[in-house]
């Protein structure tokens, strides 16, 4: 970080990429300016393709997954499927009693993964992709010269809009368009003459709640990632504040130690926020296809 630069520059989008030897300007395509966050998002998408596509082909060809990397990612995928997505979405009461979870007892193989088709499995490609996209974008900010696009509310809002669209589409496919919107209002056990007014009020509240839940989904991820990087930037900024002072040799090692410890915490937060975003997305989809 060059002297005179704000330590908060790390959490703001730029039209440059930062390398050890300096910054490189990103091109402008017509009126469209490429930014650092855009590049990080493309990198995250490419990482998903590079890792998950070979993993899928590997699992399809072999009954037992080999290799520590493939085993780690398969274990993560199966955990998300069996412990997060299936329980959160559920099977409902109209799936003929096949809503129980099926796990591969002892080992996870392609045969075990395909021997039972849970009703929630059709949402797996979306939710798995959301998890890894959020995770990789979170981790980008821990790489020197990188940045976390999920620290930008525009990125998290777009992901939340995708989840909202998935919720509405899934609910409409399961219950019909009219059935979905009418189903968001719970049954009212009130006198008949009170029902019209209360139902209308509840409908407005439930529709507002549907959108507010997804706004909070976007803000939660953005706020957590932004706050973490601001704290790291401010702690590093202490070094610049005492650069020409006798306190430099006291503050510098303390700041570096603090940043290292907080970076380990940020590593945990990166996984935690990806998990929370995926879990809540699955929960919202489940509430749409199985209204109470």
| Alpha carbon distance 272, 252 (integer Å) | 30
How distant is the alpha carbon of residue 284 from its chain centre? 14
Q: Which of 13, 33, 36 is nearest to 24 (CA)?
A: 36
Structure tokens at 44: 């995250």
Question: What is the mean pLDDT of the segment spanning 248-260?
Answer: 87
CB atoms inside a 10 Å sphere around CB 148: 26
Higher pLDDT: 3 or 260? It is 260
Indicate the range of 22-36, 108-122, 210-224, 225-239 predicted with least confidence.
108-122
Indicate the range of 4-8, 172-176, 247-251, 256-260 predicted with least confidence.
4-8
| Alpha carbon distance 47, 44 (integer Å) | 5
275, 84 contact by CB (below 8 A): yes
Question: What is the mean pLDDT of the segment spanning 55-77?
Answer: 84
Indicate the range of 107-121, 145-159, 196-210 predicted with least confidence.
107-121
User: What does pLDDT average to over the chain?
Assistant: 83
| pLDDT one-digit tens code per residue, 88-143 | 998 755 554 444 444 444 444 444 444 457 888 899 999 999 999 999 999 988 88
Indicate the range of 10-19, 105-114, 190-199 predicted with least confidence.
105-114
The dihedral over CA atoms of 115, 119, 120, 125, expressed in degrees to the nearest 10, equals: 60
| Alpha carbon distance 225, 272 (integer Å) | 11
234, 211 contact by CB (below 8 A): no
- What is the phi/psi pair of residue 158, to 5°? -65, -45
pLDDT score of 229: 82
| Banded pLDDT at 195 (limits 50, 70, 90) | confident
| Alpha carbon distance 32, 178 (integer Å) | 40
Domain range annotation of the chain: 7-136+147-289
pLDDT score of 5: 52
Question: What is the mean pLDDT of the segment spanning 254-274?
Answer: 90
Higher pLDDT: 27 or 8? It is 27
pLDDT score of 144: 78
Higher pLDDT: 75 or 185? It is 75
pLDDT higher than 90, residue 230: no
| pLDDT one-digit tens code per residue, 270-288 | 999 999 999 999 999 998 8
| Alpha carbon distance 169, 289 (integer Å) | 10
54, 182 contact by CB (below 8 A): no
pLDDT higher than 50, residue 21: yes
pTM of the complete model: 0.83
| Banded pLDDT at 1 (limits 50, 70, 90) | very low
* % of the chain beyond a pLDDT of 90: 35
91 vs 28, 86, 99, 101, 291, CA distance in Å?
A: 48, 8, 4, 9, 12
pLDDT score of 17: 82
Radius of gyration of the chain (CA): 23
pLDDT higher than 90, residue 214: yes
Structure tokens at 10: 């790390």
| Alpha carbon distance 136, 265 (integer Å) | 16
């Amino acid at each position: 970080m060059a002297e005179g630069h704000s330590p908060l520059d790390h959490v703001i989008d730029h039209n440059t990429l930062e390398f050890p030897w300096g910054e490189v300007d990103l091109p402008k395509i017509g009126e469209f300016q490429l930014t650092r966050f855009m590049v990080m998002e493309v990198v995250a998408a490419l990482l998903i393709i590079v890792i998950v596509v070979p993993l899928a082909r590997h699992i399809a060809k072999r009954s037992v997954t080999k290799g520590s990397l493939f085993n780690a990612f398969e274990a993560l995928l199966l955990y998300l499927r069996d412990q997060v997505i299936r329980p959160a979405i559920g099977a409902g009461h109209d799936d003929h009693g096949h809503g129980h979870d099926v796990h591969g007892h002892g080992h996870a193989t392609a045969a075990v993964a395909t021997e039972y088709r849970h009703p929630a499995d059709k949402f797996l490609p979306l939710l798995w992709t959301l998890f890894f996209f959020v995770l990789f974008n979170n981790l980008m900010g821990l790489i020197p010269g990188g940045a976390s696009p999920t620290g930008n509310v525009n990125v998290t809002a777009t992901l939340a809009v995708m989840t909202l669209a998935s919720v509405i589409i899934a609910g409409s496919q399961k219950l019909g368009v009219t059935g979905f919107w009418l189903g968001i209002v719970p049954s009212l056990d009130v006198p008949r003459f009170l029902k019209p007014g209360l139902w209308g009020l509840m409908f407005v509240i439930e529709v507002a709640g549907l959108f507010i839940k997804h706004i909070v989904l976007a803000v939660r991820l953005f706020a957590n990632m932004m706050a973490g990087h601001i704290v790291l930037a401010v702690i590093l900024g202490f070094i610049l504040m005492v650069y020409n002072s006798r306190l430099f040799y006291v503050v510098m090692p303390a700041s570096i130690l603090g940043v290292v410890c907080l970076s380990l915490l940020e590593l945990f937060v990166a996984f935690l926020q990806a998990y929370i975003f995926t879990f809540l997305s699955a929960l919202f989809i489940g509430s749409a296809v199985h209204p109470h």
